[in-house]
Chains A and B, each alone.
Chain A
Amino acid sequence: MAKKDAPPRWDRRMQQRLARGEAAALGETYDRFASLVHSLAHRVLGEEKAADTVTREVFAHVWEHPETYDPKQGPLRTWIAAVTHRLAVQCLRDREERDRGGLPGGEPDGAGERVSGEDLESKVRRASVAARADYIVHSMPVPLRHALELAYFQRRDYRQTAADLGVTEDEARRRLRLGLQLLSTAHDAGAPPGYGGAA
């Protein structure tokens, strides 16, 4: 994203421009959110083509129903993430059910049905948590994300992380702990506010 934490004014204006039917507004919305939408969809569905399809459906929804976004409920980014989550999970369910329906010799007494039903639910739950985690990482304050990236992906210890970021060791420890605390809320449905629980 070129810009984080866009002011709500941008969100409201974009909604008005979309409602007015300005194609340029659709392009700008895509440019700002497509990578978020695509990566969340990919995290849920684990597949490029399906993520492309969900991306198309998300922007079609944004374009056809911009009035269903309520700026008072939160930022546009959160709403778009929630729409993505809903559509991606729907797509996952459809795919799993299609695959299951296509299997020959399914259990007629329903026992097999029940088991794979539970499988599906846990799969959906896992995918939802993973997508929420991605969203949290994507949206958390940049200093926290940088600290996590250094410690996790670059394998820097917290003292090296502090030096890399030009902050005190206390501050590096604080950022790592706070970043993980935020991330751990991905396990709680409904977090962060306004986005989650859609599965």
Chain B
Amino acid sequence: MSGAEEFRVEFEEPHERRIPMPRASVEDGGHPLPDPAGRGEEPSVPLDLPHDVLRSLLGAWALAACSAAETAAVEHHLGDCGGCADEARRLREAVGLLHQPETLDLDPALRTRVLDACLDRRPPRIPVPEWAAPYDAETARLDALLQDFGDAEWHAPVRLRWFEDDVRTSRRTTVAGVIAHLLAVDGLIATALGLEDPTDADRAAGPAARTEALWRSTPFPQTSAVRVPWREQTHGLVRMVSFTGGGTGGLTVSYGDFRLPLHDAMLDRAFGCWVHAEDIADAVDYPYDPPAPRHLNRMIDLAVRLLPGALATRRRSGLSAPPRATRHLAPAGTPGRTLRLEIEGPAGGNWLIPLDSPAATPSTDHEVAHVALDSVEFCHLAAGRLLPEEEAAGQLGDREAIRDVLYATASLSRM
């Protein structure tokens, strides 16, 4: 039987049709079908269309995406033309293979599980250093979040927030602007490692100046086009730091007015990536989990290690005074007044913070205060997302010292 004959059998005997008609509706629902009436008068005689046009309509016909008149013309033609009837059947079967993907989002934890299993079976000759693992994981999580963003999401407004001189400051941007910000600040490490600088900023510029430079040098508003350079740079950084062999060789990264050792800078950027991923998730109303506990623990540890320096800065700039009770601060290397910071949750732990000077030795014998905080809350404080006075901290001891530490934590935040 020729294709055309077979077609006639199927279509002119509707009760014995073996191949389904083009689908009349799709599963996802909600959208109205195109209105055939809008396509002109319903002709009783099929449109007289040339063969080429009829053939070109086969795809649209199989998808039920033609006008009623065209559909009638195609179906009339299929009874006469074996070639077109064969193709029509194939295309209609192909429509049945289209379907919505079941899972849009991969479980981000799967990445760690899969990579760990691989590395167990064949230990890497060039591993990703342990201190770069949080950055690797956080950038992958953020990239997965961006996966299905359309223009509306990329342009959703976001407010960057941070603390300056004990006052909360903020800056308006968009989701794309946040990714540009991450690209610009991660660029601090890229330039330190000899990779290309994504900005045209001065080499001595800090995070804020670099961000402004990148925002200025790209067309406003930022678009999804920023995703690829951002992701390439994150991959490039993980790759480059792997070649340091796990040690950092004394390499430090300049943040403009201060420097961090390479491994701390990578942790800092992992932290920044998570915090901004949360901003983005908030802006588009997606849920977003905190980092894996072992990664979060390292981020908290970095913040805690930066605290004595931040306390000293506050004293120098007159935001806090040495306590009245002590005439002078403990000299370097000797035990001094200490605050015990207890971070709760699986990422938590206990940290002793020297209050008198970054060089003083913390000591439980000199503990003057005890603060207990949830791990994510502590990070939100350090990121300027939470005000020190909003902190629902369990507090015990010297109130002045506690206030100082909470404000010093908030002062770690920056644009």
Check if A52 is an interface residue, CB within 8 A of chain B.
yes
- Which chain B residues border A75 with CB–CB below 8 Å? none
- The answer to whether A157 and B65 touch across the interface, beta carbons within 8 angstroms, is yes
Q: Which of A56, A134, A153, A170 contacts B114 (CB 8 A)?
A: A56
- The answer to whether B103 and A38 touch across the interface, beta carbons within 8 angstroms, is yes
- The answer to whether A173 and B97 touch across the interface, beta carbons within 8 angstroms, is no
Which stretch, A26-34, A77-85, A101-109, touches the partner chain B? A26-34
A172→B65 CA distance, assembly (Å): 11
Q: Could you tell me which residues of chain B, from 64 to 106, have a CB within 8 Å of some CB in chain A?
A: 65-67, 87, 90-91, 93-95, 97-98, 100-103, 106
- Which chain B residues border A20 with CB–CB below 8 Å? 125-126
Q: Which of A137, A153, A160 contacts B34 (CB 8 A)?
A: A160
Chain A proximity of B31: nearest CB distance (Å): 5
- The answer to whether B33 and A155 touch across the interface, beta carbons within 8 angstroms, is yes
- Which chain B residues border A89 with CB–CB below 8 Å? none
Which stretch, A91-99, A113-121, A174-182, touches the partner chain B? A174-182
Chain B proximity of A60: nearest CB distance (Å): 5
Q: Known contacts A22-B125, A64-B121, A157-B34; is A152 also within 8 Å of B98 by CB? A: yes
- The answer to whether B60 and A151 touch across the interface, beta carbons within 8 angstroms, is yes
Q: Which of A35, A43, A133, A174 contacts B147 (CB 8 A)?
A: A35
A48→B28 CA distance, assembly (Å): 21
- The answer to whether A151 and B63 touch across the interface, beta carbons within 8 angstroms, is yes
A32→B264 CA distance, assembly (Å): 27
- Which chain B residues border A60 with CB–CB below 8 Å? 114, 117-118, 121
Q: Known contacts A42-B103, A158-B66; is A23 also within 8 Å of B128 by CB? A: yes
Check if A15 is an interface residue, CB within 8 A of chain B.
no
Which stretch, B173-181, B199-207, B231-239, touches the partner chain A? B231-239
- The answer to whether B94 and A48 touch across the interface, beta carbons within 8 angstroms, is no
Chain A proximity of B313: nearest CB distance (Å): 36
Number of interface residues of B (CB under 8 A): 58
- The answer to whether B127 and A31 touch across the interface, beta carbons within 8 angstroms, is no
A161→B57 CA distance, assembly (Å): 13
Check if B392 is an interface residue, CB within 8 A of chain A.
no
- Which chain B residues border A174 with CB–CB below 8 Å? 56, 59
Check if B136 is an interface residue, CB within 8 A of chain A.
yes
Q: Known contacts A30-B114, A31-B143, A157-B66; is A21 also within 8 Å of B106 by CB? A: no
- The answer to whether B60 and A176 touch across the interface, beta carbons within 8 angstroms, is yes
Check if B140 is an interface residue, CB within 8 A of chain A.
yes
| Interface residue range, chain A | 35 or more
- Which chain A residues border B66 with CB–CB below 8 Å? 157-158
- Which chain A residues border B394 with CB–CB below 8 Å? none
- The answer to whether A173 and B94 touch across the interface, beta carbons within 8 angstroms, is no
Q: Could you tell me which residues of chain B, from 97 to 135, have a CB within 8 Å of some CB in chain A?
A: 97-98, 100-103, 106-107, 110-111, 113-115, 117-119, 121-128
Check if A111 is an interface residue, CB within 8 A of chain B.
no
- Which chain B residues border A180 with CB–CB below 8 Å? 59, 62-63, 90-91, 94-95
Q: Which of A34, A156, A179 contacts B111 (CB 8 A)?
A: A34
- Which chain A residues border B57 with CB–CB below 8 Å? 158, 173, 177
Q: Most chain-B Cβ atoms within 10 A of its Cβ — which of A20, A130, A133, A151?
A: A151
- The answer to whether B140 and A31 touch across the interface, beta carbons within 8 angstroms, is yes
- Which chain B residues border A38 with CB–CB below 8 Å? 103, 106, 110
Q: Which of B95, B110, B114, B228 contacts A152 (CB 8 A)?
A: B95
Per-position 1/0 for B183-203, Cβ under 8 A of A = 000000000000000000000
Chain B proximity of A193: nearest CB distance (Å): 19
- The answer to whether A176 and B59 touch across the interface, beta carbons within 8 angstroms, is yes
Check if B227 is an interface residue, CB within 8 A of chain A.
yes
Check if A124 is an interface residue, CB within 8 A of chain B.
no
A173→B61 CA distance, assembly (Å): 9
Chain B proximity of A84: nearest CB distance (Å): 13
Check if A63 is an interface residue, CB within 8 A of chain B.
yes
Q: Which of B65, B100, B127 contacts A161 (CB 8 A)?
A: B65
Check if B297 is an interface residue, CB within 8 A of chain A.
no
A30→B115 CA distance, assembly (Å): 8
Q: Which of B110, B140, B147 contacts A52 (CB 8 A)?
A: B110
- The answer to whether B228 and A186 touch across the interface, beta carbons within 8 angstroms, is no
- Which chain A residues border B103 with CB–CB below 8 Å? 38-39, 42, 48
Q: Which of A48, A56, A153, A179 contacts B100 (CB 8 A)?
A: A153
Check if B277 is an interface residue, CB within 8 A of chain A.
no
- The answer to whether A183 and B56 touch across the interface, beta carbons within 8 angstroms, is no
Chain A proximity of B83: nearest CB distance (Å): 13
- The answer to whether B118 and A26 touch across the interface, beta carbons within 8 angstroms, is yes
Check if A184 is an interface residue, CB within 8 A of chain B.
yes
- The answer to whether A24 and B94 touch across the interface, beta carbons within 8 angstroms, is no
- Please give 8 more A-B residue pairs, beta carbons under 8 A apart, in addition to A173-B59, A183-B98: A23-B126, A23-B127, A23-B242, A24-B136, A64-B121, A148-B98, A152-B98, A155-B25
A-contacting residues of B (Cβ < 8 Å)?
25-26, 28, 31-34, 56-60, 62-63, 65-67, 87, 90-91, 93-95, 97-98, 100-103, 106-107, 110-111, 113-115, 117-119, 121-128, 136, 140, 143, 147, 227-228, 231, 235, 238-239, 242
Would you list the 4 A-B pairs with minimal beta carbon distance, nearest first? A177-B59, A21-B125, A176-B59, A133-B97
10 pairs, CB–CB < 8 Å, chain A vs chain B: A3-B228, A23-B126, A23-B127, A31-B140, A38-B106, A42-B102, A153-B26, A155-B34, A158-B63, A183-B98
